[in-house]
Amino acid sequence: MNRKQDDKPYFFRRVVAYIIDIIFVTLLATAISMVFIDNTNYQKTTEELRDLARKYSEKEITIEEFNEQSETLNYYMAKESVGTTIINCGVAIIYYVVLCYYCHGITLGKYIMKLRLVSANDKELNIGNYLIRALFVDLILSNIINIICVYSMNEETFKAIYPKLSSVLSIFLLATILFIMYREDGRGLHDLMSNTKVISFKANKEKEIKDDIVDAKVIEEKKVEKKTTKKSSKNSKKKEVNK
């Protein structure tokens, strides 16, 4: 694919495909969570956070009070949403890793936007390649870190460490976006780590057609070569008979 001629449309299509996939996974995970998870306490904490934001906007509390109380509420929201986070993580792994592997690099978003995930060096991708790629850009690693932090840390430690880890992941995502935008091959950090690249169906189809043409030429050349060899052998036999 000639990315020099197709930079902006290519990047736009990848962003749209990513958004479609995120929306689909989120809706599916939310539907499952509504069936199996009781979110009453989470909703109460969310209302408290909204009320806190209202108090700050109306200047009933200072910025310091808002930050301190919001950090506490965010910790309890993370704690109350562990069940939902586990479901989100599970759905994401099934969708971005298992299904993507068996669908040969195609997700719903990629199918709609005519994109496909393939190997960067023409080797067959295994499920590990899909897992490594999905960990860093499809909210799987962030969900896993969230679960580990909630279960292994007290409130104060969580407040001190989790925001920093989230910032590191955010920087990684930003760097990935810049790589996709400005690298000639359009590969982000996650692609470099997993030995993958994203191509368009059109580009892939053109490559297959070219490969078929080359194969056809090779076969035709072999047929001509065989005919020439047969003729040469017949002529040689005739000469020997005449002698």
Q: What is the pTM of this model?
A: 0.74
Buried/exposed code over 79-100 (b: 16+ C-beta within 10 A; e: otherwise): bbbbebbbbbbebbbebbbeeb
Q: pLDDT digits over 180-191, tens only?
A: 888 888 889 999
Q: pLDDT digits over 93-137, tens only?
A: 999 999 999 999 999 999 999 999 999 887 889 999 999 999 988
* Cα–Cα dist 145/151, whole Å: 10
pLDDT score recorded for residue 225: 63
pLDDT score recorded for residue 236: 57
Q: Other CB atoms closer than 10 Å to residue 6's CB: what's the count?
A: 15
Q: Other CB atoms closer than 10 Å to residue 66's CB: what's the count?
A: 16
* Strand ranges inside the chain, DSSP E: 115-119, 196-200
Amino acid letter for position 242: N
Q: pLDDT digits over 196-206, tens only?
A: 999 887 644 54
3-state SS, residue 1? coil
Per-residue pLDDT of the chain (243 residues; tens, 9 = 90+): 444 444 444 788 999 999 999 999 999 999 999 898 888 888 898 899 999 999 889 888 898 888 889 888 888 888 888 999 999 999 999 999 999 999 999 999 999 999 999 998 878 899 999 999 999 887 788 889 989 999 899 989 998 899 899 899 889 989 998 998 888 888 899 999 999 999 887 644 544 444 444 444 555 565 556 655 555 555 555 555 455
pLDDT score recorded for residue 17: 94
